[in-house]
Amino acid sequence: MAALHAAGNAIEDSGLEEVWSEADSFGPTTTRQILEARYLTRALEAHMTTLQVLYDLYVEEFFIDRLELKGPRVEAAQEMLKQKQSMFHRVPKMIAKFDKKKEAQSQIFNSVRIYMKMVLLIYTFIRPTRDGLLELHLSSLNALCKYSFAYDKQKYARLVPLYLTDMATLQKTDPDIHQEFMNGNFAVNKNHIPFCAIGMDHALEHINRIMKVTGGLMGVTQNASHWERFCLTAPELSRVTEEARADQQLHARNTLTCHWRSGQGRRRTLLD
């Protein structure tokens, strides 16, 4: 959420957020909430849609600068396969040279490219949590850390470097925990659907949600003895309920086999 808030800060008053309202994608109130990262799903949708549009414009401008690369995609791919030195290795250098040229000409281009890279990093950070990939989790968080300093997210700027330092030494200080994390157990998957794991803090909020319903924690917070008794018994009662549902197969049937934001899920959405 802090990274999404930083992305909102990056484009605030730039005109990009006004496009959402002008295109009737989001209303003014929702746009403000997206910039402040109050809604995770809407914020991800808005930033990804904006990123796709910006990349369409970026690629178009790139091909204007590099006319030799423009042409039918099939013919270009066949030509790349024929060449001994694949053009795939040269394209990133061409893009870096193109960025350097355009950034020197336009400060707006520089700002937009920073925003584009930031959104890509945010999605890169989400992926390892969903799939339980520790090394990618740490590398993407390390890349995102600089934006905590740039956009004055002081708590994250202070604590993220400490977290990364502790994780870097975890293999020596506690090899067993490090191996568990490498196996993907730094995230929680409540079902067997791929790409659906969530962070530990997010999973803890799910447990807290069980206690904050009618007949639960709500309404007893002013009574210390009732509060203490409920906090001791609620997790155990929840566990017994879940075990009973599992034994009697009363849990809702889930026909999903993949998360809708995963590659397989997005392909199915397009086909449908």
Inter-residue contact 195 to 258 (CB < 8 Å): yes
Is the full-model pTM beyond 0.85? no
- Alpha-carbon distances, residue 161 vs 1, 51, 150, 167, 179 (angstroms): 17, 28, 14, 10, 21
Please list, in sequence order, all residues whose beta carbon lies within 8 angstroms of the beta carbon of residue 121, skipping any fewer than 6 positions away. Answer: 3, 140, 143, 144
Determine phi and psi for 188, rounding to 5 degrees.
-120, 125
HSE (side-chain half, CA atoms, 13 Å) at 97: 7
The tens place of each residue's pLDDT in the chain, 272 residues long, gives 788 888 888 888 888 888 888 888 888 888 888 888 888 888 888 899 999 999 999 988 888 887 766 665 556 556 665 665 555 667 788 888 888 998 888 888 988 899 999 999 999 998 888 888 999 999 999 999 999 898 888 898 999 999 999 999 999 999 999 999 999 888 888 777 778 888 888 887 777 776 665 555 666 566 777 777 777 777 777 778 777 777 776 544 455 555 555 555 554 544 45
Choose among 121, 82, 85: nearest CA to 4: 121
In sequence order, what DSSP letters do the residues of 63-74 get, joined into one string? HHH-GGG-S-HH
Question: Hey, where are the domains in the chain?
Answer: 2-181, 195-271
Give the number of other CB atoms < 10 A from CB of residue 60.
10
Q: Which two tokens stand for residue 17?
A: 């957020």
